Amino acid sequence: MDKWQRRTVYYSFILFGSMLVFAILYQNGMRVYEGEPRTFLHSLQVVVETFTTTGFGSDSPWTSPEMQVLVILMDLVGTLLIFMALPVLAFPLLEDILSTTVPTSIENGMQDHVVICSYTARAGALIDELDSWDVDHVIIEPDRERAKELYEDGHRIIHADPTSLGGLKGAKISSARALVADVSDQVDASIVLAAQEVTEAFVFS
């Protein structure tokens, strides 16, 4: 679960939790202070009307100061939660929609290329050499922001995990001339094992 999804879950919990709490308070307040019992569903309707500003309470006006304070509090909390929705949900979603989308696979016709697993300083030097030799290559970059930067700089790159079968298949490892892994000993070993699994499956399929 990414950061935006976690924030969405937290916000939804706060929003619906607040509505339920206010519905219970409203139901009891109407019975005790106004002498007009209401069902829980009706109380929830009034809270939703207040929070969404589609109405300001179908039971208005209220005569008791306790209920007036409760309704004022509902107005303030509802307005606050609406304003919270903009930076928490709307702005990140809009930014995600408008942001550059890095591909997760390369075109099917590409072959005899070099697959470079993750971008490093040494990988950058190798890319310069490959460009001078007119050798096609593709970078598998797991970091989303780094992948976006490289993609916008004109590199052929896919955003994927180089240790995963899906990432290596997206880079068309089965038709590549070479695989370059220069991350760490443990990660490089995982990349090689995954590449062997992909290429063996391709050969025997």
In the prediction, which pLDDT does 141 show? 93
pLDDT of residue 95: 65
Q: Quick one: 23 and 65 in the same domain?
A: yes
Residue 102: inside a domain, yes or no? Answer: no
Q: What is the structure's pLDDT at 10?
A: 81
Q: Do the domain assignments include residue 109?
A: no
Regarding pTM above 0.75, the answer is no
User: Which backbone phi and psi does 34 adopt, to 5 degrees?
Assistant: -105, -15
The list of the chain residues with pLDDT below 50 reads 201-205
Task: Return the pLDDT at 78.
Answer: 85
CATH number at residue 136: 3.40.50.720
Phi, psi for 21 (deg, rounded to 5): -65, -45
Q: Which domain holds residue 159?
A: 114-204
Cβ atoms < 10 Å from Cβ of 17: 10
pLDDT at res. 59: 78
pLDDT of residue 138: 94
Strand partners, 117: 140, 181
